[in-house]
A and B are shown apart, each in its own frame.
Chain A
Amino acid sequence: MSKPIEFKAGTLSAMSAVIRELDNVRLSDSMHTMLGGLGEFFAGEATVIDLTQLSKVPDHADWTGLLSLLRRYGLQPIAVRQAPEHLVASARKAGLAVLSSDAARMAGERNVTTPTAAPVPVAPPPQPAPAEPQPAQASLDMSPPATNASTMIIERPLRSGQQIYARGGDVVILGGVSNGAEVIADGSIHCYGPLRGRALAGAQGDLKARILTTSFAPELVSIAGVYRTFERGITAALAGKPAHAVLRAKGNDGQQTLNIEPLQLD
């Protein structure tokens, strides 16, 4: 008979929500602008509320409101990092683990050399870089856990109903995108395999983003908001063939048109 419960230590990679202004109304607006109507944007990812860059320490915090706001986008808050002293108790009460920045540093960095029994005094954390010169702007910084490349690589087919967003960079999809799936990237979309779903590149307005695929058959392509659907089908010269979608300036007025052009692969 196995033991009904066991305790094991482990490390966990988690999303960090870097919050600079602890004001739920402003956060809600900001998240709505960033993530648009994409409710459940994240897939229940464990999230640490990171207050290391807090610009102004409020007297009290509405944790319940903040938690439900994050959950609305599919984030699962589990802890808060470097909560101001007077907010620690209420954070615990709201069900959050309270991480000190030291603990976070030790967990995150592997440069603690000599293991000793007694806790090693650790230098105070480096001062966070001053925020961009827009202190009034509430902003959330959500970066995926430790990757060195800004390109997101998806190794399995993206199936109907699935949605991915490559924030700040390109996405490479190795298994194709099915009808009813959606891939969004701030950069370009590279799809090795049939692209049959919706593809939106340059989601933050990058006009140079492209959508490239070895088999062109999407429901919709969009670059920097310029989109095209294929109600009457895709021309035979492009359908199922290697192609890319690209914005090209037309005429002198800077008007951009979305062109779909064949790609020569061999």
Chain B
Amino acid sequence: MVTKIVVVTSGKGGVGKTTSSASFASGLALRGFKTCVIDFDVGLRNLDLIMGCERRVVYDFVNVISGDANLHQALIKDKHCENLFVLPASQTRDKDALTEEGVEKILNDLKHMGFDYIICDSPAGIEHGAIMALTFADEAIVVTNPEVSSIRDSDRILGILQSKSRRARDGQEPVKEHLLITRYSAKRVEEGEMLSYKDVQELLRVPLIGVIPESESVLQASNAGTPVIHTKDEDAATAYQDVVARFLGEERELRFVTFEKPGLLKRLFGG
């Protein structure tokens, strides 16, 4: 198959880009696709922590761009999935080290290595690093929290995708956009404290690929260095599996978007 490049982006920081990149890439690899996930957050590398490979980082993205190492040396094989590789960001350099030619060459090399999917974990903001992450994208997953500033920033980054991506600049078919809502609390929506997923979608007008419920297990999984999609019997994990399924064209109903009041027994004896 033709390699697909997917950028995971948001504009705003702290909404769950890296968490989503890690779980999404893992989910594709679990489905048997040869997948590479690249940390574009040069200077603030996080992805290796979430993926639990921080102790194995020798060479990084910037080393490969500057020719100090080759891709084979820098790619780290994931410990959970057979088909998943991580290209970590550099901690010591800054984002200007990413050149458009350098990034393009690495992506092309990965294509030649037979990767099915390349997931680009974008840094926050709309500056150089974020632009580099989205420039070569075929599809984009825009991660948004159900609150106004996150929605505004997502809107901004969607505009930038339309104007600055290679597809837009070359006048090709535009980057395919997906909306991923994270940190969703059906209970707070019910209580009128949070925007509903329908409100968010109505404001951004981008097809919804999934809603990830707010969950403590996401934090636990991050601390343990295991992407949350691997956690058994966990809503957030199931929600990410649904995202991967929908991305691959399967029909899945939305889950975890309605709040059911706990029954009397549950309230008495705990969940």
Contacts and interface: CB of A to CB of B under 8 A. Distances in A.
Interface of A: 43, 156-162, 175-176, 178-181, 193, 196
Interface of B: 126, 152-153, 155-156, 158-160, 162-163, 174, 203, 205
Contacts of A159: 155-156, 158-159, 162
A160 B156 contact: yes
The listed residue with most A CB atoms (<10 A of its CB), out of B152, B156, B159, is B159
A179 B174 CA distance: 22
B205 A175 contact: yes
A180 B205 contact: no
B270 to A, nearest CB: 43
A175 B204 CA distance: 11
14 contacts: A156-B162, A156-B174, A158-B159, A159-B155, A159-B156, A159-B162, A160-B153, A160-B155, A160-B156, A160-B159, A161-B126, A161-B155, A162-B162, A181-B159
B205 A157 contact: yes
A179 B205 contact: no
A32 B152 CA distance: 30
Given A159-B159, A160-B152, A180-B155, 4 more contacts: A161-B156, A161-B159, A175-B205, A179-B152
A10 to B, nearest CB: 12
Contacts of A176: 205
Nearest to B153: A160
A179 B155 contact: yes
A150 B212 CA distance: 46
A43 B152 CA distance: 21
Contacts of A156: 162, 174
B152 A180 contact: yes
B9 to A, nearest CB: 13
Contacts of B163: 43, 162
Contacts of B159: 158-162, 178, 181
A129 to B, nearest CB: 33
Contacts of A181: 159
Contacts of B152: 160, 179-180
A178 B159 CA distance: 10
A68 B158 CA distance: 30
Contacts of A178: 155, 159, 203
A181 B162 CA distance: 14
A43 B164 CA distance: 10
Contacts of A196: 203
